[in-house]
Chain A
Amino acid sequence: EAGVTQSPTHLIKTRGQQVTLRCSPISGHTSVYWYQQALGLGLQFLLWYDEGEERNRGNFPPRFSGRQFPNYSSELNVNALELEDSALYLCASSGEVEQYFGPGTRLTVT
């Protein structure tokens, strides 16, 4: 069974640009979570999608947004990139409560 996949693996953007990150959950999982992990720090909750709906969002500005598609895959969009957005962005999926993480997308903003 394939695990959670994310694309791209690495990304370099310039301040002010926009970026889209993608996540495909484990087959059968309907929930997708997005987290930001700055270097050496903890997991900061960004967004939770379930059955195509946004269920909750963390304490991030509106320039962080996303969506979930009918096939339960998800996108995270970040507008007007700032230097402090440089981080590892992790996606996780769950069927019930157990979360399974993808490998992450490393975003560098210069």
Chain B
Amino acid sequence: GENVEQHPSTLSVQEGDSAVIKCTYSDSASNYFPWYKQELGKRPQLIIDIRSNVGEKKDQRIAVTLNKTAKHFSLHITETQPEDSAVYFCAGPWDMRFGAGTRLTVKP
């Protein structure tokens, strides 16, 4: 299956700052790159995804960028708010193996 590495494992930012989480993958045939958010005690929820035919996708304060040459994709959160505090997971395609997760803390 796809190997997906996610960094950093923890990230602490001040409210209003930006946060960036990065995932690298190994399968050159990968064509779908999702990000999930899991708040404490809740189920993971898809927050944004990108397909390999585009390099960037934005949805309000969140964006995902894809670098197919380097085989990595990143989640960008701008103007962070305390409610952005959660664990974020990237996933590989096909069997959807997940990265290890990044615990984001946004300090007010």
Binding site for B on A (CB under 8 A): 33, 35, 41-43, 45, 48, 55-56, 58, 90, 92, 94, 97-104
Select one of B43, B49, B99, B100 contacting A98, CB under 8 A: B49
Please tell me if B25 contacts chain A, counting CB pairs below 8 Å.
Answer: no
Please report which residues of chain B, range 71-99, place their CB below 8 angstroms from some CB of chain A when the two chains form the complex: 89, 91, 93-99
Task: Decide if B44 touches A103 in the complex (CB within 8 Å).
Answer: no
CA distance A104 to B96 in the complex (A): 17
B95/A42 in contact, CB under 8 A: no
Q: Are B45 and A101 in contact, CB atoms less than 8 angstroms apart?
A: yes
The residues of A that contact B46 with a CB separation of less than 8 Å are: 98-100
Contact indicator A45/B43 (Cβ below 8 Å): no
Establish whether residues B43 and A97, one from each chain, have CB atoms under 8 Å apart when the complex forms: no
Give the residues in chain A near B49, CB-CB below 8 Å.
Answer: 97-98
Provide the residues of chain A in CB contact with B100, threshold 8 Å: 42
Given contacts A97-B93, A98-B49, A99-B34, contact A43 B43 (CB under 8 A): no
Contact A99 B89 (CB under 8 A): no
Could you tell me if A90 and B95 are in contact, using CB atoms closer than 8 angstroms?
no
Take A98-B49, A101-B43 as given contacts and tell me if A42 and B96 are in contact as well, using a CB distance cutoff of 8 Å. Answer: no
What are the residues of chain A within 8 A of B45 when measuring CB–CB? Answer: 101
The answer on a CB contact under 8 Å between B95 and A45 is: yes
B93–A90 contact, CB under 8 A?
no
What does the 1/0 interface line of B30-48 toward A look like (CB < 8 Å)? Answer: 0010101000000111100
Contact call B32/A45, Cβ cutoff below 8 A: no
> Can you sample 14 A-B contacts with CB below 8 Å?
A42-B98, A42-B100, A43-B98, A43-B101, A45-B1, A45-B96, A55-B95, A56-B94, A97-B49, A97-B93, A98-B34, A100-B46, A101-B45, A104-B43
B2 shortest CB reach to chain A, Å: 10
Q: In the assembled complex, how far is the CB of residue A6 from the closest CB belonging to chain B, in whole angstroms?
A: 9
Bound Cα distance from A103 to B49, whole angstroms: 21
The answer to whether A48 and B101 touch across the interface, beta carbons within 8 angstroms, is no
